[in-house]
Each structure stands twice: as C-alpha cells, then as structure tokens.
C-alpha cells in the first residue's frame, strides 16, 4: 500500500501556506542556508548561490541511477536545480552547480514538472541540490497539491543546511538524502571552500533524522520515509569516513541507511590538488566499507561483489 506523502496533511490543515510565507520572507534578507548572505533575492540580488527570486532548473526526468529504494521499477523523479551553496573543487556536475547551466522557472512551471514526473509513474519527486531554493519549492508544492500531487519528496542535498530552514520542511519532506562529505574543517575548506561544513552538516543530519527517522521501505522495497546518507570516498581518506561512520552509529542510529560511494574521479578543479588528481582505489573504497561495518552500520547501499566490480573494472 502506498504511503501518503507527509505534505498532504500539512496542506489539509492549512499550515503549508504559513510555511510558504515564512520561507519567502527569508529571501528578502537571505538566510535560507548557513552562508547567511543577507541579500534581497526578491529584489534581484544574488549571494553565494547566484540565484535570485526564481529557481533555475537544468533538467528533470525519471532517473534510474539513484539508490535502489528511490528508483523502484518506475524511476525517481529528479529535478536538477542549477547552482549550489557549496563549491566543491571535484564537483562532477560543475556545469550545473558552478557554471549556471539551466533556465529560470516560475512556480507554475516547477509545479508542472512535479506533476509531470508523478504522471510518468515516478515513485517520488527527487529535488537535487534544493538547499538554496527551498522557498521556491514550497511555493510550487502549494500549487501542485490541489492539482493532485501526492508522491513523497526527496531532499537530495550537499548537506550544508540551516536548521531553521529544515524546520520549515518538517512534515513536508518524507525522505532526506544529505551528503556527509568531510569530517575535518581544513579538508572542507580546501575541497568545498567551507570550513564549518563538518559541524553544520552533523547538526543538519541530526535534525533530518529527528523529523523522519530511519529509512522505511514498502513491500516493493521502495522508500516511503526516512534518512538516507551519502558518503563519497575520496582518495587518501580525505572524506574522513571513520568519523562519519562513528557519528552515524553513535549519534544518529545503527540502522542508518548509508551509501558509501566509490565513484570518485577527478574533474572540474580537482587536478589542481595532487591528492584529488586520481580516482579512489578499490582498496580505499573497501577500507571505507570496513570502517562503516566496524562501527556496526550494516544497511549499506549496493555493497556486493558485482557493484564493486562494475566501478573498478569498467
């Protein structure tokens, strides 16, 4: 039986409109994310995310390359937002996240994309890089619900989030999928230009887990609600896997669903950094998986011989 998306209850209780109003207010003196740029995006000013009043979308469609519980049989309905509040030197989508590839969309257009993905049978609306456009997403949602939108929202982010903004999403987002990129401030500064990423990220993940709990799946093994964490293994243990795994095991839950990702390869500005100029090795990846297991984390996405072979012997 399909679970009803959380936002329907909020809409029926007439609480979504209040959230939209509060979120839109944040744009006037922008505090949508922890950068707190204090620019008036409604007046056309831009801060670090280079996005003003309208969201920018690079593409949308049914995606079959996401984690298995999101993809199911019909795909995950991804909407890729342009620009980002992080500046990762190795970003694999840098033409979208850093070079601004995409076009501005109105709230009506964004609502239309959500409805079209549901019509195609997608299991969820997967909002990719949504942090800097939370107000615009809420506005679109408010238009899409009376038109019949009812599938869960996935908040698929880099994990540099403001708790105040996340609170606006309580009862709206069913599935949170944040990255946990680093454990060390210096590495975070060097790789993404944000020194306080580790502490901000951990606080955000705690808030996400408080809202939705561990990942739950239905009888078809499709995700219905909960937290799914992504951790990209970088060369030379730069991602701080041991500390990320310890945090999840001790401060979130031993039942955390974790995707330890093997696919790092250098691109964008990574070649300027010797330690980032080569792919993650098979040994480094397997070590990261072992570190997660040593902490007692067993819900690891796609960790079996076939997937390891696919990544390292392509």
Tell me which residues touch ligand SF4 (CB under 6 A): 30-33, 35-37, 39, 47-49, 85, 132
Least distance from ligand SF4 to the Cβ atom of residue 47, Å? 3
Least distance from ligand SF4 to the Cβ atom of residue 151, Å? 26
Nearest to 160 by CA among 184, 190, 130: 130
- Crossing angle of the two packed helices 16-26 and 134-144, in degrees rounded to 10: 150
- Between 35 and 209, name the residue whose CB sits nearer to ligand SF4: 35
- Between 30 and 215, name the residue whose CB sits nearer to ligand SF4: 30
- Between 47 and 152, name the residue whose CB sits nearer to ligand SF4: 47
Cβ pair 264, 280 in contact under 8 A: yes
Nearest to 222 by CA among 64, 6, 68, 62: 68
Number of residues that make up the chain: 314
Sorted by sequence, the CB contacts under 8 Å of residue 88 that are 6+ apart come out as 97, 158, 181, 191, 192, 268
- Between 39 and 141, name the residue whose CB sits nearer to ligand SF4: 39
- Between 31 and 101, name the residue whose CB sits nearer to ligand SF4: 31
Least distance from ligand SF4 to the Cβ atom of residue 22, Å? 15
182 DSSP 8-state letter: -
Sorted by sequence, the CB contacts under 8 Å of residue 123 that are 6+ apart come out as 70, 71, 72, 74, 75, 76, 77, 151, 152, 222, 223
CA-angle at 191, arms to 29 and 185, nearest 5°: 75
Least distance from ligand SF4 to the Cβ atom of residue 21, Å? 17
Cβ pair 115, 142 in contact under 8 A: no
Q: Which helix (H) or strand (E) holds 282?
A: helix 282-294
34 DSSP 8-state letter: T
Least distance from ligand SF4 to the Cβ atom of residue 266, Å? 26
Cβ pair 53, 68 in contact under 8 A: no
Least distance from ligand SF4 to the Cβ atom of residue 52, Å? 9
By beta carbon distance, the residue nearest ligand SF4 is 47
- Between 122 and 194, name the residue whose CB sits nearer to ligand SF4: 194
- Between 176 and 247, name the residue whose CB sits nearer to ligand SF4: 176
Least distance from ligand SF4 to the Cβ atom of residue 180, Å? 19
């Amino acid at each position: 039986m399909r679970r009803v998306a959380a936002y329907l209850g909020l809409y029926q209780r007439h609480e979504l409109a209040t959230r939209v109003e509060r979120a839109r207010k944040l744009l006037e003196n922008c505090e949508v994310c922890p950068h707190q740029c204090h620019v008036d995006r409604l007046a056309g000013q831009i801060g670090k995310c280079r996005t003003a009043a309208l969201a920018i979308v690079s593409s949308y469609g049914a995606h079959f390359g996401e984690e298995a519980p999101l993809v199911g049989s019909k795909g995950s309905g991804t909407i890729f937002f342009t620009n980002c509040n992080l500046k990762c030197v190795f970003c694999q989508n840098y033409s979208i996240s850093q070079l601004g590839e995409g076009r501005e969309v109105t709230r009506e257009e964004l609502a239309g994309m959500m409805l079209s993905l549901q019509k195609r049978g997608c299991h969820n609306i997967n909002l990719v890089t949504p942090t800097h456009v939370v107000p615009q997403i809420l506005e679109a949602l408010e238009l899409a619900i009376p038109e019949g939108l009812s599938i869960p929202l996935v908040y698929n982010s880099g994990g540099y989030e403001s708790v105040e903004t996340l609170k606006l999403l309580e009862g709206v987002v069913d599935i949170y999928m944040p990255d946990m990129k680093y454990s060390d401030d210096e590495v975070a500064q060097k790789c993404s230009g944000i020194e306080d990423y580790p502490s901000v990220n951990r606080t955000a993940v705690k808030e996400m887990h408080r809202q939705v709990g561990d990942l739950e799946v239905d009888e078809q093994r499709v995700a219905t609600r909960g937290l799914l964490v992504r951790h990209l293994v970088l060369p030379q243990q730069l991602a701080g896997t041991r500390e990320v795994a310890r945090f999840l095991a001790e401060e979130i839950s031993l039942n955390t669903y974790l995707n330890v990702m093997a696919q790092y390869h250098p691109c964008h500005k990574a070649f300027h950094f010797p330690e980032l100029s080569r792919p993650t090795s098979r040994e480094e990846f397997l070590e990261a998986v072992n570190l997660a297991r040593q902490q007692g984390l067993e819900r690891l996405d796609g960790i079996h011989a076939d997937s390891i072979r696919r990544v390292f012997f392509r």
